[in-house]
Structure 1
Amino acid sequence: MTDLFWPGDHLAGDLMSDGAFLAAMVAVEQAWLGALVDAGIAPADARADLSVADGDVETIARRADVDGNPVSALIAVLRDRADAETARWLHRGLTSQDVLDTAVILCVRDVLIRVGVECAAQVRALSELIETHRDAPALARTLTQAALPSTLGAKISRWLAGVLDAAEPLAGLRTSLPVQVGGAVGTLAATTELAGSIDAALALGDALADRLMLAPALPWHTTRSPITRIGDALVTCCDSWGHLAADVTTGSRPEVGELAEGSGGGSSTMPHKNNPVRAVLIRRAALTAGPLGATLHAASAASVDERSDGAWHAEWATLRTLARRTVVAAAHTSDLVCGLRFDEGRAAANLAAANLAAADGLLSEQQTMTELTGRPGLSDYTGAADRVVDATLSRARHFLEESS
């Protein structure tokens, strides 16, 4: 896929595309039909290999406008091509929300896998940058102004901690993504009728989860926390990358000059420019991710009755946009940190200049502390920065071991 309105969208490939979504819906129908046959509810000759063609996307998308979602149109296409016995049992016991919600979960799983791979690459790259520059003197700034001496290692470790905060929950989220099987109103009424008992109906839901390699779950239907939880995880990733990117855009200003992208972007009219394009595009994603996540929460809060009148429908494109943009931001961040360059000399010069410019120097806080304690000041006023760096690197190593 490409998107001229969102440069870099092609980096997300087929993830959350129309084709991927259609294939996921077919996979749900295929798995359910197989579960019915294996349970002895549907006859063996109802088993069939369900498939759709690339050209079906347009047909199904246009027909989706009739019923408000693409599942009915998909079922019509599949039944038209199936033999009589398969058509008779196809989709029996399911409702459109079962198919659509479970298909969305399948698509999201692929997104989370990709984001997890990118996060691991970022953790490795940032760890290497810390090892290279950990003791290099640098100026720490608060509220845009010179504050205290620090190190480049301390600065990078804060980026790394943010990435780890976002990346660590992803693995658990991937393995707990739930199947959705509830029937028309979330009571499994039709499935219970088909299966002959409540236990058998619940077992069919578990069988579907097993076939799709999802977590078994009771119907969640109008309880949308599985969707908001996914959205929150994606937004948290974009938050961490946005922080990193903001520091890069500031640090790469010519008047600061401490950072540079490995390969910056050019200007259509100013050949002398070397724009921090990766950082700019990452910030773009970070600025828009939060509102998309908020829309998912608003839809969840507006969930009503046993199927929402618009709130459920608002989730699909919102989650798709958030997911694809997160993948693109993940790829851009990996590219950024793998090529990021630090100018240690410039960082030290900026620290020295700020110290001279300050009325009492940058160590006025230290002087206050020594007056209070009566002890002479330490030669290196960076406190526990080195210990923080070590702890963050240890956490990174553990993460990489767990994710390998």
Structure 2
Amino acid sequence: MADLFWPGDERAGSHFSAEDFVGAMLAVEEAWLGAGIDALVDAEQLALDAEAGGNPVIPLVRLLREQAPDAHRGLTSQDVVDSALMRMSASAVATLRRDLRRVVTRLAALAAEHRDTPMVARTLTQHAVPTTFGFRVTAWLTAVLDADDDLARLTFPDQLGGAAGTRAATVELGVEVPAGVPRWHTTRAPVTRLGDALVGCTDACARIANDVVTMSRPEIGELSEGTGGGSSTMPGKANPVLSVLVRRAALTTPQLAATLHLAAAHQVDDRADGGWHAEWAPLRDLVRRTLVAASQTVELVAGLQVHVDRMAATLAAAGDSVLAEQRSMSDDPSPTYLGDATAYVDAVVARAHHHLEEKR
């Protein structure tokens, strides 16, 4: 799927496409019926027919009952949509975590390689004290590890509450609902937790992209993307396009998650009058944009070029200014002023290796 309004959208594949949604809803209906349903469903026509009832399940059930008259008995539309959204989300998160694993693998190697590569630390955009590039990378790596940990804690529950959460129809029909299946028609934590975890991923990816954008400025030149993007007016210009596109995602995903929280806050009665309906499109965009950003970050870190000579030259040019703090503490300053930076790099790299081993 390509999208002129979101270059790179095709990286998200079929996740949360219309066809994916239809397939997930069919899977929910078939699982409930306990049998396959031989029905051809045109996603575009289903979308056109969805407006009349406010959701796509109503026209879908009409189609299904032509083949299976007992389809959907005991369910409500929200059961099907919510369960389908969770199934699609579980698949998308599995793909996302595979990409984050690749980012972790590369960053762990980069941190170890540059554990002792000197550079100047910057605080509030200004030179501060000496540091190492490996230490900078551990900030990136920690953010990605934390984001993946949040994804690992997610759950993707089915929704089987019936018309108003009481399961009156299933009891009347004598249908047993599997133990532990929650009823969350108007308590939307599964959706908001997912949204928050996805935003954590774009935060982590942007943490890397922001540094690459800054450090690849010509006047700094300490990093550069492996293959910079071109310019429509200046031949030979190499823009940090991957970093720019990752930052684009991080600038938009928090608002999408905020919409999910707003929808959760506007739940009412036993089934919501719009709060539920407002979730679907923002969740789709949030999932797809996060997948795209993670994929672009894989490519970004894989091709990242580290210019250690520029790092050393900048540190040397900073002169005494980077030693001011050290001199305020000792009349006999040590040759290096790195605190426990290298030990910290080792600890974060070890955490990354343990994280990767756990995911095998």
TM-score (normalizing by structure 1)? 0.87
For 2:7 and 2:219, locate their aligned partners in 1 and report how far apart those are by CA, in whole Å: 28
Instruction: Please give the secondary structure, in 2, of the residue aligned with 1:361.
Output: helix
Give the structure with the higher percent helix: 1
Compute the displacement of 1:51 (Å).
4.1
For 1:362 and 1:172, locate their aligned partners in 2 and report how far apart those are by CA, in whole Å: 42
Instruction: Please give the secondary structure, in 1, of the residue aligned with 2:279.
Output: helix
Q: How does 1:101-140 map to 2 (within 5 A)?
A: 101-140=82-121
Aligned to 1:74: 60
For 2:38 and 2:4, locate their aligned partners in 1 and report how far apart those are by CA, in whole Å: 31
Compute the displacement of 1:377 (Å).
2.5
Larger radius of gyration: 1
Compute the displacement of 1:249 (Å).
0.2
Compute the displacement of 1:322 (Å).
0.2
Compute the displacement of 1:30 (Å).
0.1
- Judged with a 3 Å threshold, the aligned counterparts in structure 2 of structure 1 residues 52 and 325 are, in CA distance, closer, same or farther, namely farther
C-alpha RMSD over aligned residues: 1.2
Aligned to 1:170: 151
Compute the displacement of 1:52 (Å).
4.0
Aligned to 2:307: 343
For 1:15 and 1:95, locate their aligned partners in 2 and report how far apart those are by CA, in whole Å: 24
Determine whether 1:181 maps to 2:154.
Answer: no
Letter in structure 2 aligned against 1:397: H
Residue by residue over 1:26-76, the C-alpha shift from the partner in whole angstroms, topping out at 9 and shown as x without a partner, is 000000001xxxxxxxxxxxx4x214436x111111110000000001001
Q: 1:218 aligns with which of 175, 182, 207?
A: 182
Instruction: Please give the secondary structure, in 2, of the residue aligned with 1:66.
Output: coil
Letter in structure 2 aligned against 1:264: G
Q: How does 1:381-396 map to 2 (within 5 A)?
A: 381-396=337-352
Instruction: Please give the secondary structure, in 2, of the residue aligned with 1:140.
Output: strand
Instruction: Please give the secondary structure, in 1, of the residue aligned with 2:109.
Output: helix
Aligned to 2:324: 364
Letter in structure 2 aligned against 1:331: S
For 2:304 and 2:316, locate their aligned partners in 1 and report how far apart those are by CA, in whole Å: 23
Compute the displacement of 1:159 (Å).
0.4
- Judged with a 3 Å threshold, the aligned counterparts in structure 2 of structure 1 residues 51 and 240 are, in CA distance, closer, same or farther, namely farther
Determine whether 1:379 maps to 2:335.
Answer: yes
For 2:40 and 2:341, locate their aligned partners in 1 and report how far apart those are by CA, in whole Å: 58
Determine whether 1:17 maps to 2:17.
Answer: yes
Q: How does 1:18-33 map to 2 (within 5 A)?
A: 18-33=18-33
Compute the displacement of 1:99 (Å).
0.3
- 8 Å CA contact retained: 1:166, 1:236: yes
Residue by residue over 1:252-290, the C-alpha shift from the partner in whole angstroms, topping out at 9 and shown as x without a partner, is 000000001111111111112111000000000000011
Aligned to 1:41: none
- Judged with a 3 Å threshold, the aligned counterparts in structure 2 of structure 1 residues 229 and 51 are, in CA distance, closer, same or farther, namely farther
Residue by residue over 1:118-143, the C-alpha shift from the partner in whole angstroms, topping out at 9 and shown as x without a partner, is 00000001111112222111011011
Q: 2:37 aligns with which of 37, 43, 50?
A: 50
Aligned to 1:264: 228
Compute the displacement of 1:308 (Å).
1.0
For 2:229 and 2:39, locate their aligned partners in 1 and report how far apart those are by CA, in whole Å: 42
For 1:347 and 1:204, locate their aligned partners in 2 and report how far apart those are by CA, in whole Å: 62
For 2:45 and 2:156, locate their aligned partners in 1 and report how far apart those are by CA, in whole Å: 30
Number of positions where the alignment pairs a residue of Structure 1 with one of Structure 2 = 360
- 8 Å CA contact retained: 2:112, 2:346: no
Unaligned runs of 5+ in 1: 35-46, 196-200, 207-215
Aligned to 1:39: none
TM-score (normalizing by structure 2)? 0.98
Unaligned runs of 5+ in 2: none
Residue by residue over 1:195-246, the C-alpha shift from the partner in whole angstroms, topping out at 9 and shown as x without a partner, is 1xxxxx5x4244xxxxxxxxx4221110001100000000000001111100
Aligned to 2:177: 204
